């Protein structure tokens, strides 16, 4: 019987499995995951604290529940260690090998580790899955001092959430503004002001250099020599697509695992979706892209002739201090931001030399304009 193996049980792996089962109830579906296979919405990791949700409250189904619902066989706490594409086999960390007809890599991304000095550099935490989150929750305790490294989307969300739950929060960022890769300085400044009003302390343009043990806690030293006391240091400086497995198997990789509009890698029997995938030169580590990829790939695996078409996919930043939506321009797009509005109610358009809007960011009252703006942005090409 035809066997589809999916590596990874994150939003990408499980969404693909669900979409595939809508089209094909016959083929064998085997999901292999290095975690325990709980189905949960990862975006909740950066806004669960203030809502009083414990890590155990986040999964909506465990692996057994998912196996029954799909249906599929799910191997949990099992790592795929190698792919032999010539004989269509994966190797597992328990020594087994398994044959596949089609293999889907939904292996996600790995947190980038900053090259920090100091004897506590290894104690810096990052949160990219439920296990990380459980460890982080255990570490923060009551009213602890948390230093967050990185004021991108995830760092700002954690700062807002931690502050909402009563922790002392300091945000440290290399750039001169928060959300530097997603929005213009005016929008970043509006968010900075709102988070500061909540009690978040900022160090912009002044990256962390070292983290050392100090009196049972940590001392973070910044580039200008300033020191910050912290009980916990959380790094949110970004993620890198997990390409190791694909690369070792000889699949074409650039920033991510390169796939075409049918989500197929340089091997016609191997596919990639989600945070690990690079489609048409774009690595888009968000939920909407992986949903669209999953639907397209499910159709391809079910034998339909389907190509991925991305709609416009804005991302809602989960900072209740300032409602904010970003629709970043493509990575190498040339143009400039044009900002209108007053105070914290701003509409920013990223416009190219021909006057076309390629992206936008809206905050405060201007959020009500996001649907209208969305209609003006051209969809991302995937070829």
Phi, psi of 46 (to 5 degrees): -105, 15
Nearer to ligand FAD, 9 or 177 (CB): 9
Nearer to ligand FAD, 43 or 217 (CB): 43
Residues 104-143 touching ligand FAD, rule: CB under 6 A, are 106-108, 127-128
- Give the pair of three-digit tokens for residue 328: 């970043």
Q: Distance between CA atoms of 292 and 305, rounded to whole angstroms? A: 15
Selected range binding ligand FAD among 51-59, 282-290, 329-337, 356-364, rule: CB under 6 A: 282-290
Residues in the chain: 383
Which residues between 288 and 307 bind ligand FAD (CB under 6 A)? 288, 290
| Out of 118, 152, 274, 328, the residue judged to bind ligand FAD by CB under 6 A | 274
Q: Long-range pairs for 245-250 at CB < 8 Å and ≥24 separation?
A: 245/7, 245/80, 245/81, 245/82, 245/83, 245/105, 245/107, 246/83, 246/105, 246/270, 246/272, 246/276, 248/82, 248/83, 249/82, 249/83, 249/84, 249/85, 250/85
Stretch 35-54 residues interacting with ligand FAD (CB under 6 A): 35, 42-43, 45-46
Nearer to ligand FAD, 11 or 29 (CB): 11
> How far apart are the C-alpha atoms of 267 and 180, rounded to whole Å?
36
Residue 274 near residue 10, CB atoms below 8 Å: yes
Q: Which residues contact 347 (CB under 8 A, 6 or more apart)?
A: 339, 340, 341, 360, 362, 366, 369, 373
Q: Which region, judged by CB under 6 A, interacts with ligand FAD, from 10-18, 213-221, 260-268, 334-342?
A: 10-18
| Both tokens assigned to 196 | 């500061």
- Specify the stretch interacting with ligand FAD by CB under 6 A; choose among 4-12, 18-26, 55-63, 196-204: 4-12
Among 55, 118, 285, 329, binds ligand FAD (CB under 6 A): 285
Between CA 124 and CA 150 the distance in angstroms is 12
Least distance (Å) from ligand FAD to the CB of residue 235?
A: 12
Closest CA to 78 of 64, 92, 89: 92
Q: Which is nearer to ligand FAD, 8 or 359 (CB)?
A: 8
CB of 334 to ligand FAD, least distance (A): 25
Q: Residue 108 or 118: which CB sits closer to ligand FAD? A: 108
8 binds ligand FAD (CB under 6 A): yes
Asked if residue 188 binds ligand FAD (CB under 6 A), the reply is no
Residues that bind ligand FAD in the complex, under the rule CB under 6 A: 7-13, 32-35, 42-43, 45-46, 79-80, 106-108, 127-128, 154, 242, 245, 274-275, 285-288, 290, 315, 318
């Amino acid at each position: 019987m035809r066997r589809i193996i999916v590596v990874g049980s994150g939003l990408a792996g499980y969404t693909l499995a669900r979409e595939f089962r809508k089209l094909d109830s016959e083929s064998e579906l085997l999901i292999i995951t290095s975690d325990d296979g709980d189905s949960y919405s990862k975006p909740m990791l950066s806004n669960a604290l203030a809502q009083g949700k414990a890590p155990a409250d986040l999964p909506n189904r465990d692996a057994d529940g998912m196996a029954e619902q799909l249906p599929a066989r799910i191997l949990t706490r099992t790592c795929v260690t190698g792919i032999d594409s010539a004989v269509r086999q994966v190797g597992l960390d328990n020594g087994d090998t398994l044959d596949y007809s089609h293999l889907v890599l939904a292996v996600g991304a790995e947190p980038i580790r900053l090259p920090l000095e100091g004897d506590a550099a290894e104690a810096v935490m990052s949160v990219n899955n439920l296990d990380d989150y459980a460890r982080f929750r255990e570490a923060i305790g009551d009213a602890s001092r948390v230093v967050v490294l990185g004021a991108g989307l995830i760092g700002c969300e954690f700062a807002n959430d931690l502050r909402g739950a009563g922790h002392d929060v300091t945000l440290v960022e290399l750039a001169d503004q928060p959300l530097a890769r997603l929005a213009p300085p005016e929008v970043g400044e509006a968010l900075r002001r709102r988070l500061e009003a909540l009690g978040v302390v900022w160090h912009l343009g002044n990256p962390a250099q070292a983290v050392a043990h100090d009196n049972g806690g940590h001392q973070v030293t910044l580039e200008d020599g300033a020191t910050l006391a912290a009980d916990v240091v959380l790094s949110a400086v970004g993620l890198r697509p997990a390409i190791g497995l694909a690369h070792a198997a000889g699949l074409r990789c650039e920033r991510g695992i390169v796939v075409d509009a049918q989500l197929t890698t340089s091997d016609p029997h191997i596919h990639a979706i989600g945070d690990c995938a690079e489609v048409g030169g774009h690595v888009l580590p968000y939920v909407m892209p992986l949903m669209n990829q999953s639907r397209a790939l499910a159709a391809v695996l079910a034998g339909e002739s389907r190509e991925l078409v991305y709609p416009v996919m804005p991302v809602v930043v989960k900072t209740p201090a300032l409602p904010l939506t970003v629709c970043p321009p493509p990575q190498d797009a040339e143009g400039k931001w044009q900002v209108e509005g007053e105070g914290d109610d701003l509409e920013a358009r990223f416009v190219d030399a021909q006057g076309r809007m390629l992206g936008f960011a809206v905050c405060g009252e201007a959020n009500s304009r996001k649907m209208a703006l969305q209609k003006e942005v051209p969809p991302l090409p995937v070829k």
